[in-house]
Structure 1
């Protein structure tokens, strides 16, 4: 099974399964001298871990990170950084009745088609639990970006039909509620909506918006390695994400060129855009304005509400999935989106250092 490696210079490789002994990640290509600790990484993992609210799976996992290599006396050494999270609260027997069932909207059927065999315990590598390893690696990438004053902020912009109103946006409020919504009014409505779905044994999807501020210009390359193309790949690799847009996104299809074009103005000797409909890139290259993206997250497929399914014996069955599952994935995916954005941008930053001869001279000329 390939496909577990991301990046060209700042490269990560995740491993492990939801119900195995543990999961982890190896980070290769991290510059030496980055200040990092297990406590720094744990802060992000705590935002993703289960069992923290009425709107997450009750599975109790501390998600305690252990750094095995690549860090000495609180700084990265330049060697590969290996990290591990041990699974402590897996209940594989919850899945024993599902080993011969193809659950709707899950990877069961496609995995059997491809590999002829699968780990039915919590979906194995297809489990959302794999994203804990990404978040651990992303915490290191965020440290590098912080050294350049780059700030990544993601939040829940909608739960089902309930949308956060930009007029009520309060960044400080994001980290003070279980759903990571920036709008107190929308939060109250979203909580009520989710409570009703839970009572009906159902689940919800939603959207996550992410803003990147102070990103340097010049990141990304024409054609296949456009900045937004690589970001889209990274975000779409999150199992629950079904769509990504940048700037005005799909709304651009309804606009005229005059409405969508970002006009330029000189301001104190600098070129500025009047608007940011493009979402921070031009020709696939960052222009110094904020990167704006949105990810669409599907509803949790594991629900107790009776669904139509089939089994390996070729029988049509009625399926009700019991166990510990999130009624909504969105809040726990917020930090995962931030991690994937950070990992992609750090890799692009390192690649961009060789785009001009003067950049190389700045490093090596004495």
Structure 2
């Protein structure tokens, strides 16, 4: 059996293979509530045969949404809409379901990507973003609101409440969003965090609030269910001195801290906190970050970033660079990517019986037993 199609146990949850569908924002919610588009989009991915499906970044309060079209889980209306989605997904697929929970911080109140993605002012239907410090993303934008300690305590409780709602909804796992320049990453990075209290300054202080949030969520989440953390391993700002940016050594320390307080995986991405980032993009360009983290933690690590070919994914796992691979755009382009991978690597996948007759004769084994009878 290939490494890609070897099961993986995370607490009481067993993934049938090591293919993860990354959370992908769709910017199509209404007042935080998922819509028919989410049913169509995620329904297609749920029958892909992947090992786990992570639902898109979901905000813990309205002000935590990246755009007005982003999903939330912060009141009964957003929970009810998400419940309908979960029921639909459970009815068509046994795929393990995870929810990514986060807060956009100073990147909130943005226009949808196809609307330009710029900050929407309160006068234009947006809101004032919150952040660790009153440090804007760009010089041409107003400063976000710097949260007080009391406000941070209240926001931490909203993360807990979203966690409790996710459990009621029956999600199998949670991924905490600490990457891509959103709120938790803003605390971690000295580019965004200019605080002088216990939550700013040293690496230990900058990690403090993200770790408090994770620990509070882990305590509220059932002990038998896994919870992971997504991180940005680097700010891609090598033009700055080491102490003025977030980079791989810091990400390793943070990952180790997360492991100690109950993280079950680290999902290693990069960038997002600075518009001046200089990213070198190529096939598997973020895999070395995952490998660096994996060498220093004992929990599974997910690699992401232009992983597009089955044999490329297999090599990442076989060589010990990561324990899982996560695909996003590649799954949008080819929602049956796990089927293709199974055909190339002699694996098997869970597929709807209604689709069993679709497999080419040369790959009859990828769905397991597919005997048909017809009068």
TM-score range, shorter chain: under 0.3
Larger radius of gyration: 1
TM-score, structure 2 normalization: 0.22
Q: Which one scores higher on RCO, CA 8 angstroms, separation ≥ 6? A: 1
More strand per residue: 1
TM-score, structure 1 normalization: 0.22
